[in-house]
Amino acid sequence: MRYALDVQYLGKNYAGSQIQFEGNEPIDEPTVQGELERALSTLIIGGKITNNKQDRQVKTIFSGRTDKGVNALGQVVHFDTDKEIVASSFIYHINEILPDDISVNNLRIVPDSWHAQKSAKARYYRYELINRRFKQAFDGDILRVKYELDVERMQTALNFLLGEHDFSSFKSSGTLNPSKVCVLTKAEVEKQGDRIFIHLEGNRFLYNMVRTIVGTLLEIEGHRLPVEHMKEVLEAHDRRKAGQTVSPFGLTLMKVTY
């Protein structure tokens, strides 16, 4: 039987969402997947597991990988088990086992053909930053931009990214997936006081794509480049033309649509 979970987590204490391996050996760093599989194994099978690949008794598939420091409000995960699970009891008990910065918010039965990653139609990310000259005690790890940002200019620049494009310019090295074409259906900037939110939704995202798009927006604003610079970067298909990859803190996977 296949089950799907809706999962939330704060990413700052983890080396990403998924267990990473060097050859057959797991990298000894905490991950969301590692904690989730340990909790599932304890709850469903009654034993604990290690990071060793062969010891993972309950294996999970995530809708997509998030990097170190990236949060999730709407991560989706599936796993298989031959045991029948009662959702209300399961959610309570697994949240008692999980660390405080990870929670399961929903469980449902899905068809055996359903796949958390491959069945996904769209993913929605939000990047939050602070636009203020001086720091405040509760800013935390959120990126603070000291110069004034023009959200209207930022929106005009983002509009060039809507639709189906080769996003090679915004892709960092480190992914084995050769595909570079994505369809961006939402690209919006929102200002709330001294907080700015950048909303991006698409069928898929390349490695560090959201953070590099934000970095390019900040480069355009910081150097007062014409907004058409975003279009030039997009069409160049050259990572060297884009801005820096900004901090992962402030980036949240908000929702996965199926």
Q: With left for phi above 0 and alpha for psi between -120 and 50, is residue 166 left, alpha or beta?
A: beta
Is there a catalytic annotation at residue 100? Answer: no
Question: What class does CATH assign to 2-110?
Answer: alpha beta
Enumerate the domain spans of the chain: 2-110, 125-257
| Nearest alpha-carbon partner for 145 in 257, 246, 228, 12 | 246
CATH topology of domain 125-257: Alpha-Beta Plaits (3.30.70)
Tell me: the pLDDT tens digits for 34-80?
999 999 999 998 755 444 444 558 999 999 999 999 999 999 999 99
Distance, CA of 51 to CA of 58 (rounded, Å): 12
- What is the reported pTM? 0.92
Q: Identify whether the C-beta of residue 74 lies closer than 8 Å to the C-beta of residue 253.
A: yes
Tell me: the pLDDT tens digits for 192-249?
999 999 999 999 999 999 999 999 999 999 999 999 999 999 999 999 999 999 999 9
Distance, CA of 61 to CA of 15 (rounded, Å): 17
Show the tokens assigned to 11.
């990413």
| Residues sharing a CB contact under 8 Å with residue 185, sequence separation 6 or more, in sequence order | 122, 162, 201, 202, 203
Domains 2-110 and 125-257 alike in fold: yes
Catalytic position from the list 67, 82, 139, 141: 67
